[in-house]
Amino acid sequence: MGRTTRPWQMSTNTDSGVAARVRSGERAALEQAFNSHGGAVKSMAMRVLREESLAEDVVQDVFVAFWRDPAKFDDSRGSLRTFLVTIAHRRAVDLVRAEEARFRREERVPQESEPSIDDEVWTRALGDTVRKALDELPDRERKAIAMAYFGGLSYVEVARRLGEPEGTIKSRIRAGMTKLSVSLAGVST
């Protein structure tokens, strides 16, 4: 005869069980989710991005997001794999869009015009303000931002030149940019 499973006897290995264990802060449950679904998540990211290092960043982002907010998973709407793969697809598409936008910005040819004295004074004052805000950042964040934004390097290139993991560089740049946005919040262009 078959066994009846009651709610209090629910297996901790089901999607709901794993999510419940992650909600309670159990790292082993996150590891279990990663071992079970990490390959599918990376495969989705690779299909969209076609670059392994970027796909690995997406995998990390997906599982960090799941760790931080496992309550977003609702097993009545689908499996944990589907949930994680959907997040990976969204993140990968966002990355592609961001890269395309960056490429379009870099390819734009500035219009030649003679700057007015007011424009030149404003530009210099703004430059001084940005330099001061940059100087307030920790050295590691400032260096990574300078290489990426002023040197035109990608996260991957900055990481290689500094001999650091890409995720670390990405985090430093994001943290530094967040601090800069706070420092420069009152400055208008």
Would you state the structure tokens that stand for residue 70, as one six-digit string?
């496992």
Q: Give a yes or no: residue 94 inside a domain.
A: yes
Read off the pLDDT of residues 137-169 as tens digits, 9 standing for 90 and up. Answer: 899 988 988 888 888 888 888 889 999 998 898
Average pLDDT over residues 36-54: 94
Average pLDDT over residues 78-95: 95
Tokens 């997906």 correspond to 62
The end-to-end CA distance of the chain, in Å, is: 75
pLDDT band for 8, please (50, 70, 90 cuts): very low
pLDDT value at residue 188: 61
pLDDT value at residue 39: 96
d(CA 177, CA 138) in angstroms, rounded, equals: 12
Residue range of the domain that includes 79: 14-107
| Domains held by the chain: number | 2
Q: Is 18 in the same domain as 102?
A: yes
Q: Give a yes or no: residue 1 inside a domain.
A: no
Q: Give a yes or no: residue 72 inside a domain.
A: yes
The mean predicted confidence, pLDDT, of the chain is 85
Average pLDDT over residues 126-135: 80
What pTM was estimated for this model as a whole?
Answer: 0.52
Q: Give a yes or no: residue 3 inside a domain.
A: no
80: phi then psi, degrees, rounded to nearest 5? -65, -40
% of the chain at pLDDT higher than 90: 45
Q: Give a yes or no: residue 57 inside a domain.
A: yes
Q: Give a yes or no: residue 123 inside a domain.
A: no
Q: Is 77 in the same domain as 144?
A: no
Identify which has the larger pLDDT, 140 or 115: 140
